[in-house]
């Protein structure tokens, strides 16, 4: 009977069947949690069999029978992994979380089985050593070199004893990084600030309505609920007159993973850091940062520090000026206290209202999320000729997901786009882009990308639609920029298509998109009052522009402090049990971070550096140098100039990782990026 059950389960597993859904989008409604592990195991087994066949090929090694064959392998594993890891981030549950903990070490071992396959590496090395004499396209040359270097960096040249050590390190790291992320999610969802009406002084009506709805969904009708998720946290610390409650909520946020409870991350972070030190040494690198940065535009830790150190003094000076303004306001209001970190957002808003006559709550009615999304679509049309047509037949993994067919200027379909913008407790925090299927065109087989954007914006209520802040509107444009990078990809091989580019280059196309959010010409195309339909008035646009450089000291310092912290953890050269708080304080004291500003991420909840951005959080600033210089080209020719957009498409956004990132930039701009536009944008020059 048990055997029959297993067989039926295998027969019913959607991952083992051809997907006859619209455009090959995963049949989410058929996929159950019990389908994942059998599919992962079968996918890994099939992949290894394909790899062994490539490695054991008796024919002379060629690009087609080795490198291209590797690109074509592992399709079942790729299929199940793309669905599972997208959903474990965007629509998770306890079962998926447990599955991730179970499958992560298996996948780590699977990757090592491939990278440490001596016969496969020898075939690759044979091609690499004679690469200059092979008749390869530029993209093929790039793929060959990337594969060879990835194998070397994955331990292919180690002796057997060291290979065994590397496997053990990788397995431990895979388990620890999952546990770290799970703990942050649990901390996010654990903290609740449940208030009475008397506690709401200073809060705008829209904020109160959203909090009332949140309380009602938790069975606390008649109360108001605030959480650590940004759409709830930020408006509260921005507007609440209750300093004691601002402190309580803010400290709840900055102490995530640092509460000495079952979700504490300090020991886990130490273990991760020490394992990375050990791994870097094993592979012949001085530090983990040196290992990571070898594949980036920055190349070395010193180049990262050179960039940070160039901008930090100006940011620090500006932040001190902002602090003085706030303390002056506190004193003038008779406040007998010194500005603290939980006060900064509140007094920044007060100064914005007083000095610039600009109230954030005055802006939100013009930034209804549907209009902002449409604005992003309008911009994609003006720059690249794209159209987004909603198609409700396409499968969705959650009712809130919207699905679109994306077409180019000639009406040809180029991809599928899924958007999932509203907060729910089953999502990790933040906003991101990912893919369910990468673009490729091997042998003329045109595979269209399936791209998704996920966010955590406030849901609409019974009376009010979802209204975004300026920062949230910029976040939406930013993540949509990542989506365009995936949708507009025009490469042959999936492993170097789309956003498969150096880490400090991947944020560049997305950050460029943010430039349009506040441009008057752009605002008139999407910023309509949700009640009256009137376009945002020029007077309000002028006030927004006038206040644009205000609080940039704070914004730059809180981000850069996190970038310095990331580099500090990953330039360690010895294994040691660090006191995390002492370590952090030492980093911040060294750079002169003022106590009124807390690093955007403290170590115990710094998911970026535990995940894919270790020694890479500086990338946003590096990319902003590129994007600020790039937008100057659009200013010179008109911000909607189609020819400039086409040049950006042809040289940057369609090229994936097929060329050196700096060369792609020079091909587009005609010169290396200049830092002056960034300094001017932030008001530092």
Residues annotated as catalytic are 479
Q: Which stretches does DSSP call E strand in 197-353?
A: 224-226
Residue 38 near residue 13, CB atoms below 8 Å: yes
CA–CA gap between residue 551 and residue 345 (Å, rounded): 10
Q: Which two tokens stand for residue 222?
A: 């008649």
3-state helix, strand, coil split of the chain in percent (to 5) is: 60, 5, 30
Q: Which residue has the tokens 């989008």?
A: 25
- How many CB atoms sit inside 10 A of residue 233's CB? 19
Residue 637 near residue 644, CB atoms below 8 Å: yes
Q: Which two tokens stand for residue 544?
A: 């927004």
* 188 CB-near residues (< 8 Å, 6+ apart): 227, 228, 229, 256, 428, 429
| CA 589 to mean position of chain CA atoms | 28
Q: Which residue has the tokens 């911040």?
A: 588
CA–CA gap between residue 103 and residue 94 (Å, rounded): 14
- Distance between terminal CA atoms of the chain? 76
Write b or e for each residue in 145-170: b if 16 or more Cβ atoms lie within 10 A of its Cβ, otherwise e.
ebbbeebbbbbbebeeeebebbbebb
**Nearest alpha carbon to residue 678 among 615, 596, 621:** 621
CA–CA gap between residue 257 and residue 324 (Å, rounded): 32
Q: Which two tokens stand for residue 657?
A: 């990782």
CA–CA gap between residue 136 and residue 156 (Å, rounded): 24
Cross-strand partners of 422: 457
227-230: Cβ within 8 A, 24+ apart: 227/188, 227/189, 227/191, 227/192, 227/193, 228/187, 228/188, 228/191, 228/252, 228/253, 228/256, 229/188, 229/423, 229/429, 229/456, 230/429, 230/456
Residue 466 near residue 456, CB atoms below 8 Å: no
The alpha-carbon radius of gyration of the chain (Å, integer) is: 25
Q: Which residue has the tokens 């890479």?
A: 616
**Nearest alpha carbon to residue 527 among 265, 518, 555:** 518
* 607 CB-near residues (< 8 Å, 6+ apart): 180, 181, 184, 428, 601
Q: Which residue has the tokens 């659009």?
A: 634
**Nearest alpha carbon to residue 293 among 566, 583, 685:** 566
* 139 CB-near residues (< 8 Å, 6+ apart): 491, 492, 493, 496, 658
Q: Which two tokens stand for residue 585?
A: 């304080």
**Nearest alpha carbon to residue 498 among 660, 652, 373, 296:** 652
CA–CA gap between residue 542 and residue 520 (Å, rounded): 9
């Amino acid at each position: 009977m048990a055997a029959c059950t297993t067989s039926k389960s295998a027969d019913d597993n959607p991952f083992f069947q051809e997907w006859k859904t619209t455009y090959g989008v995963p049949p989410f409604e058929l996929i159950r949690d019990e389908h994942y592990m059998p599919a992962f195991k079968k996918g890994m087994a099939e992949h290894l069999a394909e790899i062994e066949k490539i490695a054991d090929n008796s024919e002379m090694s060629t690009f087609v029978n080795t490198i291209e064959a590797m690109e074509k392998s592992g399709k079942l594993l790729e299929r199940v992994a793309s669905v599972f890891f997208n959903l474990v981030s965007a629509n998770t549950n306890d079962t998926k979380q447990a599955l991730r903990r179970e499958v992560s070490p298996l996948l780590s071992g699977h990757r090592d089985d491939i990278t440490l396959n001596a016969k496969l590496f020898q075939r690759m090395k044979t091609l690499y050593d004679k690469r200059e004499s092979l008749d390869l396209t530029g993209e093929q040359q790039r793929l060959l070199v990337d594969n060879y270097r990835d194998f070397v960096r994955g331990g292919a040249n180690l002796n057997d004893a060291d290979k065994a050590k590397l496997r053990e390190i990788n397995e431990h790291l895979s388990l620890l990084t999952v546990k770290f992320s799970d703990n942050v999610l649990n901390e996010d969802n654990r903290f609740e600030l449940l208030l009475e009406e008397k506690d709401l002084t200073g809060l705008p009506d829209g904020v109160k309505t959203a909090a009332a709805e949140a309380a009602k969904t938790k069975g606390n009708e008649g109360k108001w609920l605030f959480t650590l998720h940004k759409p709830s946290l930020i408006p509260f610390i921005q507007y609440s007159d209750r300093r004691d409650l601002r402190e309580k909520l803010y400290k709840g946020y900055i102490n995530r993973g640092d509460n000495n409870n079952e979700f504490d991350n300090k020991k886990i972070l130490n273990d991760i850091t020490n394992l990375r030190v050990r791994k870097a040494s094993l592979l012949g690198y001085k530090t983990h940062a040196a290992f990571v940065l070898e594949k980036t535009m920055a190349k070395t830790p010193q180049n990262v520090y050179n960039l940070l150190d160039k901008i930090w003094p100006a940011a620090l000076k500006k932040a001190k000026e902002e602090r003085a303004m706030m303390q002056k306001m506190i004193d003038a209001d008779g406040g007998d206290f010194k500005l603290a970190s939980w006060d900064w957002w509140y007094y920044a808003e007060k100064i914005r209202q007083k000095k610039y006559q600009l109230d954030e709550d005055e802006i939100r009615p013009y930034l209804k999320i549907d209009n902002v999304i449409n604005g992003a679509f309008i911009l994609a049309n003006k720059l690249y000729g794209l159209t987004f047509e909603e198609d409700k037949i396409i499968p969705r993994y959650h009712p809130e997901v919207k699905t679109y067919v994306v077409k180019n200027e000639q009406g040809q379909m180029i991809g599928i786009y899924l958007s999932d913008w509203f907060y729910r407790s089953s999502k990790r925090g933040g906003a991101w882009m990912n893919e369910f299927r990468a673009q490729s065109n091997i042998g003329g087989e045109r595979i269209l990308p399936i791209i998704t954007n996920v966010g955590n914006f406030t849901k609409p209520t019974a009376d009010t639609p979802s209204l975004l802040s300026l920062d949230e509107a910029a976040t939406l444009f930013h993540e949509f920029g990542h989506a365009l990078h995936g949708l507009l990809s025009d490469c042959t091989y999936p492993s170097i298509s789309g956003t498969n580019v150096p880490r400090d280059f991947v944020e560049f196309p997305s950050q460029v998109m943010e430039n349009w959010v506040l441009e008057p010409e752009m605002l008139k195309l999407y910023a309509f009052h949700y009640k009256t339909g009137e376009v945002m008035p020029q007077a309000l646009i002028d006030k927004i522009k006038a206040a644009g450089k205000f609080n940039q000291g704070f914004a730059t310092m809180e981000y850069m402090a996190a970038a310095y912290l990331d580099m500090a953890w990953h330039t360690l050269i010895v294994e040691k049990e660090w006191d995390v708080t002492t370590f952090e304080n030492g980093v911040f004291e060294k750079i002169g971070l003022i106590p009124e500003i807390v690093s955007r991420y403290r170590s115990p909840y710094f998911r970026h550096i535990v995940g894919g951005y270790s020694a890479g959080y500086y990338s946003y600033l590096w990319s902003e140098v590129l994007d600020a210089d790039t937008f100057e080209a659009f200013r010179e020719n008109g911000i909607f100039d189609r020819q400039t957009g086409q040049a950006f498409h042809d040289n940057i956004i369609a090229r994936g990782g097929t060329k050196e990132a700096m060369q792609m930039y020079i091909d587009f701009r005609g010169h290396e990026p200049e830092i002056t536009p960034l300094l001017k944008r932030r008001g530092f020059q």
